[in-house]
Amino acid sequence: MHKVRTTLITLLDRLEKISDTFGGNTVALLTVSLLLAAAMLVVNDRFIVSTREKTDVLSMLDELLLETWKVQSNLAIAESSQRGYLLTRSDNYFNPYDNATGQISQQLQNINTLLNHTNLVKHAEIQSTMNELMSSISKKSAEMSVTIDFAKKRQFDKALAVVRLDSGIKESHNIEILSRRFEQQVLAYRVELEDKRNTMRRMMRWFVMACPLIFVSLVVLVIRRLLRELAEKANLYVRLTDENAEYERNIQRMTTTLQRQALQAQTNVERERYQLSRELHDELGSLLTAIKMDISWAIKHLKEDMPQVTEKLKKTNQYLDRSINFKREIVQNLHPSMIKSFGLIASLQNLLNEAGGRNQWQLDVIMPDQEMLINETLSLIIYRLVQESLNNCSKYAKATQVSVHLMHDEQYIKLEIADNGIGFDMNSLTTANTGISGMRNRVESIGGHYEVTSAPGQGTSTRVLLPYLLADPS
C-alpha cells in the first residue's frame, strides 16, 4: 500500500510539471483528459469486441458439438428403427425412421452452415474431419435407405442381404472414430480460444485499472474540489456492487428452495382439503343424518293421518339419501382417506378396480409388491394423477383397454398410463385444458417431468417421472 501511494504521488508530481509546461492551462489539461478518456473507450471497445468475437466462436463450437451429437443420436435411432422393422416387420418403425433421417439432414445442413463461418473455415483439420464424417454418414444413410426401400417393396431377402454386408458396419465404425476425432479437435480448438479470450480479459483488466488511474490523476489536477464527490460516487458504486452480489446470492438460495416450497405448498393445500373433508364428514354428515332421522320419525307418525305429507317426506328422504352420497363423493375427492389408512398401492388398486368395473375396461396393472416409503403429499399427487387420467379415459377416450404401470428405484418414481381410445390432436391442446395443465403444474413444481402423447385414433399415453421423496420421519 505504501509503495502504491508513493507511485501515485510521483505520478501526480510529474503531471504537475507537465501542467506547468502548459502554463497551468486548465483547458489543455482537460483536453488531455478527454483525449485519454476517448482513447480508453476506443481501446476498451476493441478489447470487448475481440472478447465477444471469441465468445461467439466458443458458442458456435458448442453448438457444433451439440449438432454432431444429435446426428449421432438420430443415426442410432434410424438404424434401430431399420433393424426393428426388419426383425418385426411392423410399420410402426417407419415413423421414427423417417423422423430421424429428416432430422439428420437438417442437422447436417446446420453443421455445414456453422463450418462456413469465417473462424472455422480457417481450421483445416476440423473441416477435413467433418467432411469425412459427413461422407460416412451419407454412405450409412444411403445403406439404410436402400434397405428400407427393399423392405417397403416386401423384398426382405434383398434388404437382409444389404444389412449383412460389411459396409454398414465399417461405416458405423468409421463414424464413431471420426466423431471422436472431430470432438477432440473441436475441444482442442475451444481450449485454444478460451486461453486467448482469458489473456484478452487479463489485458483488458490491466488496461481498465491503469488508464483510469492516469485519467483520475489528470482530473485531480484540474478539479481537485470534485475529488470528494468522485470518492463518494466510487463508494456508492462499490456499495451497489456489493448489494447486487448479495441479491444474486439471495436469488440463488431462493431458487434452490423452490422445490421444497412447492412441495410444502401442495402439502398445505392437501392439509386444508383434509380439514375441509373432515368438517364436511363430521358436521355436515351429522346434520344430514339427524335430518334423515327426524324425517323418518315424522313419516312414521304421520303416515296414517297425513298420507300426502308422508309421500312428500319420503321423496325428501330420497333426496336426502342422494345428498349424503354426494357428500361422501365430495369428501373422498377432497382427500382420499384410503391412502392414510391402507397406503398408496392399495388405494390405487381399489381406484382401478372401481373404474375398470364401472367402465368395463380390460386392465393391465403393474404395481410395486411393497408399499413405497414416500412423502404423503407425493402419494396424493400420484393418486390424483391416476384419478384424473382415469376420469379422462372414462369421459372422452371411449377406451376398452387401459394400462397403469407404477415403478420406482432409489431416485425416481415412474408412472405410465395408456389407453386404446380415440385419442386427440396434440395441436388442439391449449391453456384451457385445465386437467392436463393442472397435472403438469403439480408434477413440474416438485421437479418432475410430465409428458402426454396422443393422436386421433391411436389412444393416449401419459408418462410421469417424479423424484423419490422419502416420507417425513416425524
- pLDDT of the chain, 474 residues: tens digit per residue: 555 556 655 655 565 555 555 444 555 556 666 676 676 667 666 767 777 777 777 777 788 778 888 877 887 787 777 777 777 777 777 788 778 778 877 877 887 777 777 666 667 777 777 777 777 777 777 777 777 777 777 766 666 666 666 666 777 777 778 778 877 877 887 788 788 778 877 777 776 676 666 666 666 666 665 566 667 788 888 899 898 888 888 876 775 577 666 666 666 666 666 666 666 666 666 776 777 777 777 777 777 777 777 777 777 777 777 777 776 667 666 666 677 778 888 888 988 998 888 899 999 999 998 888 888 778 888 888 898 888 888 888 888 999 999 999 888 999 999 999 898 888 877 655 557 887 888 888 788 899 999 889 889 999 999 888 776 655
What does the block give as the cell for 99? 423422423
The confidence score (pLDDT) of residue 343 equals 85
CA distance readout (Å), 163 to 72, 100, 138, 143? 19, 19, 16, 8
The confidence score (pLDDT) of residue 51 equals 75
Cβ neighbour number for residue 408 with a 10 Å cutoff = 14
Which run of H or E residues covers position 198? helix 166-222
The confidence score (pLDDT) of residue 401 equals 92
- The pairing of strands 412-419 and 449-454 is unpaired
Cα 117–Cα 119–Cα 122 angle in degrees, nearest 5: 100
Cell 450409412 found at: 140
The confidence score (pLDDT) of residue 405 equals 94
What does the block give as the cell for 42? 476506443
Q: How many CA atoms lie within 13 A of 307 on its CB side?
A: 1
Helices (H), 22-165: 26-88, 94-115, 118-121, 124-152, 156-164
The confidence score (pLDDT) of residue 415 equals 93
The confidence score (pLDDT) of residue 9 equals 59
